[in-house]
A and B are shown apart, each in its own frame.
Chain A
């Protein structure tokens, strides 16, 4: 009895330390973002929204924020379409070379991201895509496709393929089978894959650093150069906005997952 309560206390203690360790910096940043001081100090001498105003007024922040939004949305859509199609082919298909294709698609998760960045920079240099909207969307799509592929594949492998076979025998051609049967069954996974892709794209720094130019950069790149230069609490405001955005998206994602998790599994 006594021993188990000691273990219990230790376990709770360890969890508490971990949580503080992970969450405290975030809380610190959140607090500082509302500071009235002109530089990063803790605790703040007073409160104001000046840094948030600055995010939307200063062109280096508002421009890069909108650039990011312009990249994140098409990236999410593109990665979802490609990732879903790939997942259906890889899980349901029966053709040689599936393992190789999976490897290529998943490579951006495994290859050190700085290597990916350098390679993309090199390639885009030849294609004159560095610092262009198209270049960012392409690079981010490549990085986010693996997330969609793995989330959708996991969901697909829990859906019994007899539903698709039954639909085929009832007279539905393959595209109709996907649209009417498979898509509704894996829609929660597709949506959560898309949200994940968007969060990853929103947060992406390394590859974006490589392919940014002074004329087109993303907010993460702007944050990076800001941190390297003179530091004022605007960075805390931007960081807080990013944090809240990611939290929101992940919250939606878990709601989707819980709400839609019932369908698609074989009964009986």
Chain B
């Protein structure tokens, strides 16, 4: 994804200080042409401030922003040519939908006939043809969101920024709009930076995700990388549900290491260069653990562990178990299958199994 010269946007050590707090702390990340990247993080993590600095609405305290290899830090927002979709749509309430869409084209001195055709095309793109003469207040939330999207794209900017654009919509409409935005992105090949605090939204829509916490980027990666190989405790905990197991390195060399937990030992490659005695955390997704009756054949996967069910929670599509195994409490998720619809009950003896490949080792600090 990140060949040099293919970078559309690059943030280099971007910082923003408000009063005495460092809201954005040396953020460096780059975006390839045509890429869809999400900034994911809890509120106050600096993701929206970073977005506003890219848009030119907030002045960085330090650092530089490159758009198509050009430093744009000192460029005012109206000269940046970046489309922005705001959370509250920010459609001009005194202008018709058509006038809203024409506004950025007028600013670029597009001819009248050019404006007319491009506004019509934009309305068509978001399936709102015939709504051009209405005022924003006469449209539903979802329709307003579509107009906001069309307005930010009608002048064909190389980059589109979206700040929690679906935050005000209900769940069903949200999921529908997520798909629409994703399809528009694929069809038009526009590069997108998408700010959200919703991990599901980030996972389903993005090519890559940058996870923000306390003004810093904790990890950048594809949804699968973040989900399966979190490199920090925060990412492991924030993106999806996971079992976090405390452990200690009991032996290590250049290529592999052995980690002891309260209930089992885990052998892993020593990529991060862990030393003997180091405290680590293992992250293991609940759905990556197989569960089988203690009496029957052990479940597949390299590692097995005897456990006792302490709680069963029914979710319809799946069952969630809380089990205890040698001093550890783990969560296990089992999909409901046609072959066996009755799950285990409390105090049932079971055997857990998992592939060591699915365990992420997270160092301290």
Chain B, residues 343-361, CB within 8 Å of chain A (1/0): the string is 0000000000000000000
Interface residues of A in 130-163 (CB under 8 A from B): 160, 162-163
The stretch that binds A, out of B33-41, B62-70, B88-96, B298-306, is B88-96
Which bracket fits the contact residues of A? 20 to 34
Q: In the bound complex, how far is the Cα of B144 from the Cα of A265, in angstroms?
A: 15
Q: In the bound complex, how far is the Cα of B168 from the Cα of A155, in angstroms?
A: 25
Tell me, rounded to whole Å, the shortest Cβ–Cβ distance linking A157 to chain B. Answer: 16
Interface residues of A in 253-268 (CB under 8 A from B): 263-268
Q: In the bound complex, how far is the Cα of B84 from the Cα of A234, in angstroms?
A: 65
CB-based contact A172/B107 at 8 Å: yes
Tell me, rounded to whole Å, the shortest Cβ–Cβ distance linking B20 to chain A. Answer: 17
> Chain B residues near A163 (CB, 8 Å)?
90, 92-93
Tell me if B16 is interfacial: C-beta within 8 Å of chain A: no
> Chain A residues near B76 (CB, 8 Å)?
168, 173
> Chain B residues near A263 (CB, 8 Å)?
93-94
CB-based contact A171/B94 at 8 Å: no
Interface residues of B in 271-298 (CB under 8 A from A): none
CB-based contact B144/A169 at 8 Å: no
Chain B, residues 37-77, CB within 8 Å of chain A (1/0): the string is 00000000000000000011100000000000000000011
Q: In the bound complex, how far is the Cα of B141 from the Cα of A265, in angstroms?
A: 15
User: How many residues of B are in contact with the other chain, CB < 8 A?
Assistant: 32
Closest chain B residue, CB of each to CB of A183: B94
Q: Given A170-B155, A185-B93, A268 and B141 touching (CB < 8 A)?
A: yes
Q: Given A267-B136, A267-B137, A169 and B92 touching (CB < 8 A)?
A: no
CB-based contact A170/B86 at 8 Å: no
Q: In the bound complex, how far is the Cα of B77 from the Cα of A171, in angstroms?
A: 7
> Chain B residues near A173 (CB, 8 Å)?
76, 78
CB-based contact B83/A267 at 8 Å: no
Chain A, residues 171-187, CB within 8 Å of chain B (1/0): the string is 11110100011001100
Tell me if A167 is interfacial: C-beta within 8 Å of chain B: yes
CB-based contact A170/B88 at 8 Å: no
Q: In the bound complex, how far is the Cα of B82 from the Cα of A185, in angstroms?
A: 25
> Chain A residues near B88 (CB, 8 Å)?
160, 162, 266-268
Tell me if B108 is interfacial: C-beta within 8 Å of chain A: yes
CB-based contact B107/A169 at 8 Å: no
Q: Given A163-B90, A268-B89, A176 and B107 touching (CB < 8 A)?
A: yes
Q: In the bound complex, how far is the Cα of B90 from the Cα of A219, in angstroms?
A: 49
Tell me, rounded to whole Å, the shortest Cβ–Cβ distance linking B131 to chain A. Answer: 16
Tell me if B81 is interfacial: C-beta within 8 Å of chain A: yes
- Between A and B, how many residue pairs show CB distances below 8 Å? 79
Which has the most chain B C-beta neighbours within 10 Å: A162, A167, A268? A268
Q: In the bound complex, how far is the Cα of B84 from the Cα of A166, in angstroms?
A: 7
Closest chain B residue, CB of each to CB of A184: B94
A170 contact from B56, B89, B94, B103, Cβ within 8 A: B103
CB-based contact A168/B94 at 8 Å: no
Closest chain A residue, CB of each to CB of B141: A268
Chain B, residues 138-149, CB within 8 Å of chain A (1/0): the string is 000100100000
CB-based contact A169/B93 at 8 Å: no
Tell me if A53 is interfacial: C-beta within 8 Å of chain B: no
Tell me if A165 is interfacial: C-beta within 8 Å of chain B: yes
B56 contact from A166, A169, A264, A266, Cβ within 8 A: A169
A162 contact from B56, B80, B86, B155, Cβ within 8 A: B86
> Chain A residues near B77 (CB, 8 Å)?
165, 168-169
CB-based contact A165/B104 at 8 Å: no
Tell me if B151 is interfacial: C-beta within 8 Å of chain A: yes
Chain B, residues 86-129, CB within 8 Å of chain A (1/0): the string is 10111111100000000110011000000000000000000000
A160 contact from B82, B84, B90, B141, Cβ within 8 A: B90
Q: In the bound complex, how far is the Cα of B141 from the Cα of A128, in angstroms?
A: 62
Q: In the bound complex, how far is the Cα of B162 from the Cα of A166, in angstroms?
A: 12
CB-based contact A168/B93 at 8 Å: no
Q: In the bound complex, how far is the Cα of B56 from the Cα of A166, in angstroms?
A: 11
> Chain A residues near B151 (CB, 8 Å)?
170
Q: Given A162-B90, A168-B77, A268 and B144 touching (CB < 8 A)?
A: yes
Binding site for B on A (CB under 8 A): 160, 162-163, 165-174, 176, 180-181, 184-185, 263-268
Can you name 9 A-B residue pairings with CB atoms under 8 Å?
A: A162-B90, A166-B91, A169-B55, A169-B82, A170-B151, A171-B107, A185-B93, A264-B94, A266-B88
Binding site for A on B (CB under 8 A): 55-57, 76-84, 86, 88-94, 103-104, 107-108, 136-137, 141, 144, 151-152, 155, 168
